[in-house]
Amino acid sequence: MTTTTLAQPAEVPETGSAPIVVFDDVSITFDLKPVLHHISFEVAQGETLIILGPAGCGKSVLMKLANGLIEPDSGTIRVFGQDISHMRETDRFALRKRIGMVFQESALFDSLSVENNVAYRLNEEGVPYDEAHAKVEEVLRFVELSQAIDKNPSELSGGMRRRVSIARAIITAPDLILYDSPTGGLDPITSTTIIELIVKQRDVSHTTSLLITHRLQDAFTLATHRWNPEAGHMEPIPDGKIDDSTRFLVLNDGGIVFHGSTQELVHTTDPWLREYLS
């Protein structure tokens, strides 16, 4: 991986050290089936919260709730101190400009080139072409896809699409990044490349993030590795230490079964959790 210095997320003076994301007793039901019930947790500034859980336990729903793409039936969700769950959709658009999101299946605009996908936000904001093009080149260098700038999404592999999706999410240096299964459906080598990219983004920009993954090895790689800017690649944190800013949230049957640090997760005594982790 090459070393690229990206713009840092903007300071958040209005929130200070207050949590960036707060879920307070959130519940949601689809077609009479409860998907999430009484979910409460917080994500501090600069923290990476890894969300684990079996398929269908509501992880992606939780991610969409955090971005205001769906509304909870009850409870409140505060992002940057603002109640996104009871906000008008038009007001949410302004808030979402501070949030980057990587979708499970990348969700690239298939009628736009890679450059226009990555530059989408900049084009919407009316950034001049030359400036937008330079930023796209910079962010594509960061995800090591400079050669794909003129391609269409249909010409890219699954891993490349994820990287373009990450580039699109980080181009405006958002204050919060939501990764919805960024390694889902990818082979182990490509998954590691994507995780390395996320570690790089975390350690270079210190952006608060929520990350869903089904792969435990990816989760623990995030917790036990760091980005080495001199060497230009990811490496284990020396002395078997773990990244303090990485925490875990484990869901099952729409409820939280664990929320804590890596050490607490590894030493859990909960029988279901131990079986899930084994």
Partner 1 sequence: MPLPFETFAKQKIASVQEYSLLAGRAVANVFTGRRYWADIYTQMDSIGFGSVPIILLTGFFTGCVLALQSETALKQFGAVNMTGSLVSLSMVKELGPVLTGLMVSGRNASGIASELGSMKVTEQIDAMRALGTDPIRKLVTPRLVASVFMLFWLTILADAVGVLGGAIVSISMLGLNFTYYLHSSYQTLYFADVAQGLAKPVFSGFIMSTVGCYCGMTTKGGTQGVGRATTHAVVISAIFIIVCDFLVTRLMIGIFGR
Residues that bind partner 1 (CB under 8 A): 64, 67, 69, 89-90, 92-94, 96-97, 99, 101, 103-105, 107-110, 120-121, 124, 168
C-alpha closest to that of 167 among 130, 190, 194:
194
How many Å is the maximal CA-CA distance in the chain? 57
CB of 124 to partner 1, least distance (A): 6
Residue 114 identity (one-letter amino acid):
V
CB of 213 to partner 1, least distance (A): 18
Tell me whether residue 78 or residue 96 sits nearer to partner 1 (CB atom).
Answer: 96
The neighbour count for residue 5, using CB atoms within 10 Å, is 10
Q: How far is the CB of 183 from partner 1 (least distance, A)?
A: 17
Nearer to partner 1, 30 or 272 (CB): 30
Looking at the Cβ atoms of 101 and 242, the one nearer to partner 1 is 101
Q: How far apart are CA 49 and CA 248, in angstroms?
A: 5
Q: How far is the CB of 234 from partner 1 (least distance, A)?
A: 27
Q: Looking at residue 112, what DSSP letter applies?
A: S
CA of residue 106 relative to chain centroid, distance: 12
Nearer to partner 1, 44 or 69 (CB): 69
CB 23 within 8 A of CB 40: yes
Q: How far is the CB of 66 from partner 1 (least distance, A)?
A: 11
We find the least distance from the C-beta atom of residue 32 to partner 1, in angstroms, to be 9
Query: CA 109, CA 132: separation in Å to the nearest integer?
Result: 18
Distance CA 81, CA 90 (A): 17
The token pair at 47 is 């923290």
Closer by beta carbon to partner 1, 126 or else 238: 126
SS3 content of the chain, % helix, strand, coil (to 5): 35, 25, 35
188 vs 195: CA distance, rounded Å: 10
CA–chain centroid gap for 66, Å, is: 11
Residue (64 or 233) nearer to partner 1, CB: 64
To partner 1, the closest distance from the beta carbon of 156 in angstroms equals 14
Q: Which is nearer to partner 1, 92 or 226 (CB)?
A: 92
